[in-house]
Structures are given as C-alpha cells and as structure tokens.
Amino acid sequence: MNVLDSELVVAALRRTGWEMAKTSADADAIFYNTCSVRQHAEDKIYSALGRIRLAKQERPGLVVGVLGCMAQKDQALIRKRAPWVDLVVGPGQLHQVPALVDGILAGGGPRLEVSLGRKAGSRDTVARSFESYDPDRDPTMRPTPFQAFVRTQTGCDKFCAFCVVPQVRGPEQARPPEAILAETHKLVAEGCREITLIGQTVNSYRWTEGDRTTRLADLLAQLDGVPGLDRIRFVTNYPRDMTNDLIAAVRDLPKVCHSLHVPAQHGSDTVLARMKRGYTIGEYMEMLGRVREALPHAAVTSDFIVGFCGETDAEFQLALDLVQTADFKTSFIFKYSPRPGTKAFERQADDVPEAIKKVRLQLLMEAQADVSLAGNLSFVGTRQQVLVEGPSVWEEKRESAPSPSGMAQLTGRTACDRIVVFDGPPRLIGRLIDTNITSASAWTLTGVVADGLADAVPLDALETEGSLPTERVPSSEQSGQPPVRSTQLYTQQLYDIALASTALPSQPSVPPGV
C-alpha cells in the first residue's frame, strides 16, 4: 500500500514540476512515507528524522515531510520530537502534498494535515475526512513497469485487537468498479501485464449501486476480460470473507493467479478470541479445506503474530502445530508490538517477555522454513511459467562485468508466487516464459529457460535489449526471511523520496485527480 501511495505522490509532484533527486544531498524536499503497524517501523523514521536534522540546519530551505500512517497516528507529536519537520500529512490527505509544499516554499510555515480520529464523529463524517485519491499513475515509480498495484478499497473496519490500521487508514471505503477497471485499462496501455489488487481486506470488497452489488468475484470477472492483461493477484484476504463465489472465480478465471494470502494470525482459539479476529481455528480450517478442494495447487500464505498478550506455551504450541500442518507456502511472522489506540493496547497487558517473543519467532520461522522447503522441492523437475521481473539481487550486486554472452541472472515469478532464478538475456524481462525447475531452497526455485529461448536470436524488432530495471529490495525486519517483493506490504516501508525542484516553486499546482 505504501509503495502505491509513494507512486501516486511522486506522480502528483512530477506534474507540478518536481523531479526525483539522485541523492538526498541534492534534494530540495525529502519525504518519508511511513508505516505504523509495528513500533520498529516508527523507530526507524524517528532515527531517520534525527539524521536529517543537520542537513536542515545547513539548508533551512529544505522541505522535510512525514507522510502516511505515522503522520495520522502521531500528528503534532512528530513536530514535537523533530521540530525541523515542515509537513505532516496523513494517508487521507496525500493529494494535497504538492499544494502544501508550494505553501511552505512561499513562506506559509509548517503544515499538519490529517483526517479525523475514528471516534471524532459519525462513520460518514470520519470517512469523508479520508479523501479518496485516484490520480494519474507513474510507471517509472513502480517496482517494474509491467507490474502495478491497484487499490480496491481504502481503510479497514475489522478492528482486530492488535491492529492500528483502522485508526490510521480510517473507515473501509470501496472504489467504484468502473474506476478500478478504467485504471487497469490505462495501466495495460502503459505496458502493464500483471496487476495486484490491494485492500486491507480485499475480499470484503462490495460496491452497491441501485440494486446491483459488485463483490470481489464480480470485479475479478470484469478484470479478467481486459485485453493485454495476463495476471491478476489480490491481497490481503480476511478468512471469514473467503466465500465460495470468490474461490470459484479464482478457479475459473484464467488470468487470476492461484495464490492466496489469507492470514491466520494464530493457531489457538483463545488467542484468536483475544485478538478479536472473529473466527475459530475450526472455521479457518473449514475455509482452507474449501480452498484446497477447489484449488489443489494453489499457494496459500499466512501472517502470524507471536507473543500476543497472555500467549502461553500451550497456546504458542498450537500456532506451531498449525504451521506444521496447514502447508502454507510462506508465512510472514511478527513479534507482537503494542500499538496505542488499539483495543489490545488499552485492555490487555503486553506480558510476554521480549526474550520469549524472540524464541517463539525463531521457532515458528524455522517450522515454516521446513514446510516451505518441502513445498518448493516438489517443484523440482516441473516446468513453470514465470513473468520475468528483472536481474536477481546477486546480479545487481556483482562487481564483475556482465557476461560476454549477454546472459544475466534473472528472476521471475510463477502464478503461485514462487520466485524462480535462472540465467537468461535481459530481453526476456517483462515477458512470460517457461522454465524447467532444477533445484529449490525454502525461498526460491532455480531453473533453466525452457525450449532454448534464452539462446534464441531475437527476431522481434519491438524487443529492446539491455535496459535492466532496477529492483528495489524492501527492508525486512525478520532476519532469515527471504527478500521477496511481496513482503513490501508487511514490513516497514521507509522511502526516502528525495525530490529536487526543476521548476520555480511558484508554478501553480495542478489539482490531483483532474
């Protein structure tokens, strides 16, 4: 979600004459797009703000902004702790950034723009204070030009006891299906082949107009008809909203990937009840059974929180049992981090010692690694279609010159979201190709390009050689977990969006969305 927000803010700034700076030392404005899901994410921002203090002293004209969830959560506290910050803008006001920067450059002083708190008025009043934001996209800001996130909803109404998202992203509000479809057509026209629909609970999507209701299954059917689009993914799913029509849509629509992120969060009914997740493990397993029956080869992934308030050894053992039996392709596992403003923070003690949280994190990660390895090994000897994403992390870091044969180590992703590493010419980037899988680790598959395609002389004049898009690798707070791009949604997002003005600050800003 933050990757998408960053793309939209940069696109809006570019339209008003700003350009990306090469380094923060060249920048006239520096923005931090923030996450408040865990304390660790916030600590990183406050230390980054500490580091920028000197630059601000030396160059008082530098604009420093804090955007996103932490801005909404901490509001004036940010300027209290870091008075050199000029701009604090919540997720519901991001469209105002260009105009706010203009105001600051014109001498208007610091600005704080955030939405109402969840208890500050009626649901509608609060919802209106989180203004929708659907401006133009910017292909250069995407992880790759041929993959894009598309928002289906903003906000969240689930109120899980541990989670701050409903507070900082506001009430759940769906975008009209026409807007989602139009945006997808536009993205495809720009060269996009894969879209990932994103909502905090994407499968709760519901849009009613007159007597017609569009749910996620209907939306997928409409998107499946978009010519030129190859793959459709969607994250994140709420277990209780995994309805049969949605499972059938995934089974029957050719472009929808058989890859489902449905976080269980825990394996114990008593912990799930304290977390206010709204389901029991029996209900979760019933849902998983329906998924496995309709989609036997689907990759199902989960999130887990260890060390939640009052978690006993026996309860933790149930989480371990679930990981060992549910056959998740991957799990993202987090230590519980108390969040002010949540029910758990107000009413339940964070009483699991840090040392025990650490041990449980390690144990669950190891259990998942064993399951992931066994799952990946079953792919050895098979043929898998991948969308080639770009050079591997190893290729990007290697110091020796690229191989004279023009081969590079590339990575692609299967429809079930497995990363395949293989050697091939960069002209394959952005294409769907087949690979034969030769070996596997817990996190990646290794393969060779099938049918000699890697060595073939490119006849297609439209193919362009050489330009390797650079891949941004997200930071992961979980050491030992793979640097997969899908973790971007679940780990700290720290984007130093450094911008240098190439236009006069007085240039009028274009209203976003117009």
Q: Which residues bind ligand SAH (CB under 6 A)?
A: 37-38, 156, 162-163, 165, 200-201, 236, 263, 265, 303, 305, 334, 336-337, 339, 490
CA distances from 439 to 391, 443, 456 (A): 19, 11, 24
Q: Are 408 and 424 in contact (CB under 8 A)?
A: yes
For ligand SAH, which is the closer residue by CB, 242 or 408? 242
Q: Which of 104, 94, 109 is nearest to 34 (CA)?
A: 94
CB of 416 to ligand SAH, least distance (A): 19
CB of 332 to ligand SAH, least distance (A): 7
For ligand SAH, which is the closer residue by CB, 41 or 454? 41
CB of 6 to ligand SAH, least distance (A): 17
For ligand SAH, which is the closer residue by CB, 146 or 336? 336
Q: Which of 157, 168, 200, 155 is nearest to 36 (CA)?
A: 168
Phi-psi region for residue 9, left (φ > 0), alpha (ψ -120 to 50) or beta?
alpha
Tokens representing 96? 């105002």
CB of 307 to ligand SAH, least distance (A): 9
Q: Distance between CA 293 and CA 100 in Å, rounded?
A: 52
CB of 70 to ligand SAH, least distance (A): 14
For ligand SAH, which is the closer residue by CB, 158 or 185? 158
What 3-state DSSP class applies to 483?
Answer: coil
Three-state SS sequence of 418-477: CEEEEEECHHHCCCEEEEEEEEECCCEEEEEEHHHCCCCCCCCCCCCCCCCCCCCCCCCC
What 3-state DSSP class applies to 501?
Answer: strand
CB of 208 to ligand SAH, least distance (A): 22
CB of 33 to ligand SAH, least distance (A): 15
For ligand SAH, which is the closer residue by CB, 24 or 265? 265
For ligand SAH, which is the closer residue by CB, 41 or 449? 41
Between CA 424 and CA 431, with CA 426 as vertex, the angle to 5 degrees is: 85
Helix, strand, coil in percent for the chain, rounding step 5? 40, 20, 40
For ligand SAH, which is the closer residue by CB, 435 or 493? 493
For ligand SAH, which is the closer residue by CB, 59 or 347? 347
CB of 312 to ligand SAH, least distance (A): 18
Q: At which residue do the structure tokens 């803010």 appear?
A: 9
Q: At which residue do the structure tokens 């500490």 appear?
A: 50
